Structure 1
Amino acid sequence: MEAVAYLDHSLEVAIGVHVGLFGGTIALLGSAAQAAKWLPPVEAHTMRGCFALTELGHGSNARGIETTAVWDGAADGFVLHTPRETAQKYWVGGAAETARWATVFAQLTVGGDTVGVHPFVVRIRADDGSPVPGVTTADCGVKGGLNGVDNGRIWFDHVLVPRGHMLSGENAVSAAGVYTSRHSTPDARFASQLAALTGGRVGISRLVNNQAKLGLTIAVRYALSRRAFSPTPGAPEARLLDYASHRRRLMLPLATTVVYSLAAGALKDEWNSHAELRDAAGRRLGVTKRLHVLSAGAKALCSWHARDALQECREACGGQGYKSDNRIAAVRATHDISCTFEGDNLVLMHTVAKALLGDYAAVVGARRRGGGKLPPFGELLAFLNTPRMGAAPLPSPRVSPRDVDAPTFVTAVLRDHAAASMTALATAYAAAIKAGTAFDAWNSVATAAADTAAAVMAVHAHAVGAAAVAAAATADARARRSGVAEPLALAVHLHSLGVVAASPGYLRSGALRLDEAAAVEAAIERGCTALAELSRGVVDAFGIPERLLAPIAGDWVAHNSRARL
């Protein structure tokens, strides 16, 4: 999918919907017998499917979907129905023409009790493409991009779904109409039903970052060959990348792309390793909280970054960046949807913040109660266990500015700010919930919550990058050569400096002193200059085949010559 995405995002999404979402839901939520029955034809593409979760009236709030599935004991199945227009399945990739089957999520009712959202494997077309009774489909219409994907709408009119078509790896209904579940709470049950989305978000993190690589490869190569304005009369015109402002507009996103590539790669490896794990009964383990939170944060930050990086690349290439054959404008348009599909980015950052807030409150509460060994912070908040971190106030103002070029500088600033943000968020939420409802309390801190999630994710990304630098330095030393450690260290440091400089929050929290802010700006300029010297090697290291680039990444004069008319 990653390789295909370099060529055509629509084709990659079509594969992703069929294999990753439709097939992935069967693999993750189906029983062993269901997987054995359906996965071979899914993999052979003879059972073409789609993923029907989102509805016209419910996108981010998947728990509130309105499609119903009511157990009918006499028919040994479930009656699937669209009760109102807002319940129509919407934005379903493949539903307009391609798919013959769908994993349909609906509110399950058994014996008069509604037990929440559950998935069903449902026939929506015959193999020849003709409609089946009770199912109506329609196209969503022309979009701003990604028009190679036939996004569609689906209505169900009292469609009988056989009992064996409810995916029963996690929950099941017996022939006697008895509902059973592996999960003890509705929250855990609902979280398990959306497992396929976690894998999708892991994939999106990689895929969108690859598109940033594509745009930056084209823009950097063009900036190294395109010239404009002479420094002195009669002198050769300067290359675009000789200009400090042009360097900054490309080198900062290049550094971030390197770091996010490392972080998304580590997340992908963790997801793949987890996917191989089974419980004592041989069933796949559910998605861990860590993977759920990391995938949400990574998907949001990587897709936001790709959106902004591609826009910057488009502008950095001037009019040539707007031409379709130079790819950047088209890639930017077709990947814009990544910021909202499989979760609106802001909502995903709130998901991260809620999880962090819960973990933080649990540890702080246990420490206040005392009575034995105090628990450490875990997972993404483990950095709070280091000295000068956690619920304690930040240290008093430093006497003199620190060395902004030292690797320890950005590590300390990122951690200090994340620690201060977590403490402030927890304090504000605790006060707000005493004064009103949980909804109002969260709503009052929502902006700070998203910022806090971004701050903690920045600590995580920097840690992944720093670990990669250390590993590369060890490898270089053993091989007695100058390898990737130096440019990698430069990219990691420059990225983190850019994160600090981009938000005034680091000054407000006291993690960055005002007299250090000017030094950070100067360090960014030096870092951009240094990375520009290595930039051709960095983008070449992305390994994108020449035929997938653009005319302006090569001999753009020959491409536009009169001889080619």
Structure 2
Amino acid sequence: MNTVFDSAEPSGPGTGPATDLLTTVLLGPDARREHGFWRRLVATEPFRRPAWPPCGPTPDERLALAHARLRALNNALDSAARPAADPRALAALHEWIAPVDPALATVAGIHYNLFLGSLLDHDPDTPRDLSDFLRLRRIGTFLCTEVAHGNDAAAVETTATYDPGRDGFVLHTPHCGAQKFMPNTSPAGGPKSGLVAARLIVDGADQGVFLLLVPLTDASRALPGVRVRRLPARMGSPVDHCLTSFDQVFVDRGALLGGAQGRVGDDGVFRSDIEGRRRRFLASIRRVTTGRICMSASAVGSARATLAVAVRYGGHRFVSGGRTSPPVPVVAYRSHHGPLAEAMATVFAMSLLHRRVLDRWEEAAARPPAEREAAERLVDIAKGWITWQARSVIVECRERCGAQGLLENNGMTELVTGIEGAITAEGDNLAIHSRAAAQLLFDAARDPQEEPAAGPPDADLTDLRFLGRLLDQVERLWFARASARMARVPDGGTLERWNAASGPALRGVEAHAYRQAALAYDSALTALPDGEARERLGELARLFALRWVARNSGDLLAAGHLTAGQVDGLTDATEQLVAAVSGRLPELAESFALPRELLADWPITGARYADAYDDPGASWHTAAAREPAGGAR
């Protein structure tokens, strides 16, 4: 039992067992309020794993289940506007829903964040009746990406031309490449409306890309002028990814989501407080940043669940212990528990960085623009790093479960493929990291800082302060290399200069993410009282930092930040921590506070996992029935 959620009274710092304190570290000091509702929800019947036939559900059956669960979720809310208006609630929703049903996380994220959130954020002076969307009589979706425009969405070519005679806009798809390339736009699940990103044309002038509210389908078909075609099945996802196009579809002037970025007045004149079409577009789609936080949350929750399953299975899957030894659990072997210990250090780092980013994003809302931009950049960096780390963790854990981990009923395959969607959603990781790399590289060149010494030659590899300075040096080394490479092509064009610098600059972004995760570990350790929980978290923090230092040990040695003796000692220091963490894997996984009901739905989490494959008609059950009464004669 995790008393952070299950006891009558919440346990405060220093008053509960180590597991409870670590749960608070992972989920925040207000875990009961922030996460309790969603944790309880996924343990209820609508979200339990159904008994599918041996061949598994069809994609359409899985999609129907996701929409049924969306309605159950919506009915459980006191107001559907709450998650749309609260980034923390949205993040927690994704953290708990994604491990249960990645397709549900997709449709819920689109409806509550990109759709409802955008409607609530924009143009409060324009009244709209949102009751159909709040009660899910209509499902909301979001149409930005086009066949020919993804990460360059500011260049979308769908047009919305103002018609002064009818006082509204005419949406049109001019060619094949301008078809919207987005999920959840078919009639599956019920009537749909979408926020469509389109190029606003007023009096013949291109004012930039804005969002317009457009009805798409009724309960069975696309509405007149709207064409929706299903794309080929996407790897692992049952969500209805579609091509959507418009043929002279008229919407009234109130369909435009205006605000500071611009609006068309009663006189038919376009006015904007923001100069530049790109800036107007970014203001229109600002909910994408919250969506990136949600993608991080989905990745964190999915990685924790997969790791918990792998730890449990490793403890009750017995293998030969040797010719003269009894069987032992497979987790007894270093080759098995080592990767899980390293995954545990990474999952804690992902969770802590996610919470650090969420805190920064909330704090920055009322801060000057420069601080808001820095917070948004951290959101971008964290989204890429966390989802990539989640993929590594999930694939490793699946492999540690062998063939059992490939079966859909054991819950892992959906998460293996689901994380791929998170890596691409709300901006491809490489694209958003490239933008962050350019920003960090510019900041480093504009404001060079004095380089601190990493530490004395005899510094202890178990000293987190020393390890933190090494992580800082790794980041500096990569950005210095990027700057040097860019300087070698002073007369080149922008593309040539960026190509020269981008390789090391992207490594610098990765190093920046590792350093931010290490800082999140440090903050969590500072907040913990002395005791077992602090000791466990310190071991994880050291293992996390040492693995990154080891990966960059050659560079650190060449730059004089490590000695040959310290490099030689990295293996022993790491192995000592692997041994310490691996001995605590079950307790650490318990701190994830996953509901018992959720774990029970995955057969390999139980010690009697083989019972899931029992055959009532097999000989071991029927042999006794065939025996003559009174025994064999």
TM > 0.5 between the two?
A: yes
The reply to whether residue 332 of structure 1 matches residue 416 of structure 2 is yes
1:162 CA drift (Å)? 1.6
Quick one: which of 452, 459, 463 aligns to 1:402? Answer: 459
Contact 1:14 1:94 in 2 (8 A): no
Partner of 1:553: 605
Q: Give the whole-Å Cα distance in 1 for the aligned partners of 2:269 and 2:462.
A: 64
Partner of 1:491: 540
Partner of 2:60: none
Change (3 A) 1:354 1:38: farther
Quick one: which of 222, 229, 237 aligns to 2:320? Answer: 229
1:511 CA drift (Å)? 4.5
Partner of 2:213: 121
Q: Give the whole-Å Cα distance in 2 for the aligned partners of 1:38 and 1:563.
A: 57
Contact 1:49 1:102 in 2 (8 A): yes
Q: Give the whole-Å Cα distance in 2 for the aligned partners of 1:39 and 1:524.
A: 55
Partner of 1:108: 200
1:74 counterpart SS class: coil
Contact 2:103 2:237 in 1 (8 A): yes
Cα RMSD after superposing both structures: 2.5
The reply to whether residue 343 of structure 1 matches residue 396 of structure 2 is no
- Counterparts of residues 19-418 of structure 1 (less than 5 Å): 19-28=112-121, 30-34=122-126, 37-95=128-186, 97-98=188-189, 100-126=192-218, 128-147=219-238, 149-170=239-260, 171-231=262-322, 233-272=323-362, 288-364=372-448, 388-389=451-452, 400-418=457-475
1:102 CA drift (Å)? 0.7
Q: Give the whole-Å Cα distance in 1 for the aligned partners of 2:175 and 2:556.
A: 48
Q: Give the whole-Å Cα distance in 2 for the aligned partners of 1:508 and 1:53.
A: 47
Quick one: which of 511, 524, 533 aligns to 1:468? Answer: 524
Cα deviations by residue, 1:209-237 (Å, 9 ceiling, x for unpaired): 11111111011111122232324x32223
The reply to whether residue 541 of structure 1 matches residue 591 of structure 2 is yes
Partner of 1:457: 513
Contact 1:244 1:525 in 2 (8 A): no
Percentage identity across paired residues of the two chains: 27
Cα deviations by residue, 1:402-425 (Å, 9 ceiling, x for unpaired): 311111221011001112222222
1:111 CA drift (Å)? 2.3
Change (3 A) 1:510 1:198: farther
Cα deviations by residue, 1:225-281 (Å, 9 ceiling, x for unpaired): 2232324x3222333222222222111111110111011122223445556x599xx
TM-score in terms of structure 1 length: 0.86
Partner of 1:445: 501
The reply to whether residue 500 of structure 1 matches residue 591 of structure 2 is no
Cα deviations by residue, 1:330-359 (Å, 9 ceiling, x for unpaired): 321232221112111111211211221232
Change (3 A) 1:242 1:184: same
2:128 counterpart SS class: helix
Q: Give the whole-Å Cα distance in 1 for the aligned partners of 2:559 and 2:268.
A: 57
1:169 counterpart SS class: coil
Give the residue type in structure 2 aligned to 1:355.
Answer: Q
Partner of 2:479: 422
1:122 counterpart SS class: strand
Q: Which moved more, 1:550-559 or 1:522-531?
A: 550-559
Contact 1:72 1:79 in 2 (8 A): yes
Give the residue type in structure 2 aligned to 1:223.
Answer: G
Change (3 A) 1:554 1:299: same
Unaligned stretches of 5+ residues in structure 1: 280-284, 365-383
Q: Give the whole-Å Cα distance in 1 for the aligned partners of 2:100 and 2:205.
A: 48
Contact 1:195 1:286 in 2 (8 A): no
Contact 1:52 1:103 in 2 (8 A): yes
Quick one: which of 470, 485, 491 aligns to 1:435? Answer: 491
Contact 2:185 2:216 in 1 (8 A): no
Cα deviations by residue, 1:159-194 (Å, 9 ceiling, x for unpaired): 222221111123212233322223234443232222
Cα deviations by residue, 1:362-381 (Å, 9 ceiling, x for unpaired): 324xxxxxxxxxxxxxxxxx
Q: Give the whole-Å Cα distance in 2 for the aligned partners of 1:267 and 1:41.
A: 33
Contact 1:349 1:453 in 2 (8 A): yes
Contact 2:457 2:563 in 1 (8 A): no
Give the residue type in structure 1 aligned to 2:284.
Answer: Q
Q: Give the whole-Å Cα distance in 2 for the aligned partners of 1:405 and 1:359.
A: 32
Change (3 A) 1:313 1:121: same
Cα deviations by residue, 1:61-105 (Å, 9 ceiling, x for unpaired): 112211112222222122211111010000333446345211111
Give the residue type in structure 2 aligned to 1:17.
Answer: I
Aligned length: 519
Contact 1:108 1:115 in 2 (8 A): yes
Cα deviations by residue, 1:19-68 (Å, 9 ceiling, x for unpaired): 1111122223x21134x524443222223210000111111111221111
Q: Give the whole-Å Cα distance in 2 for the aligned partners of 1:299 and 1:251.
A: 23
Unaligned stretches of 5+ residues in structure 2: 1-92, 619-633
1:561 CA drift (Å)? 4.2
1:483 CA drift (Å)? 4.2
1:435 counterpart SS class: coil
Contact 2:482 2:500 in 1 (8 A): no
1:286 CA drift (Å)? 11
Q: Give the whole-Å Cα distance in 2 for the aligned partners of 1:288 and 1:42.
A: 30
Change (3 A) 1:544 1:420: same
Q: Give the whole-Å Cα distance in 2 for the aligned partners of 1:87 and 1:511.
A: 52
Change (3 A) 1:456 1:511: farther
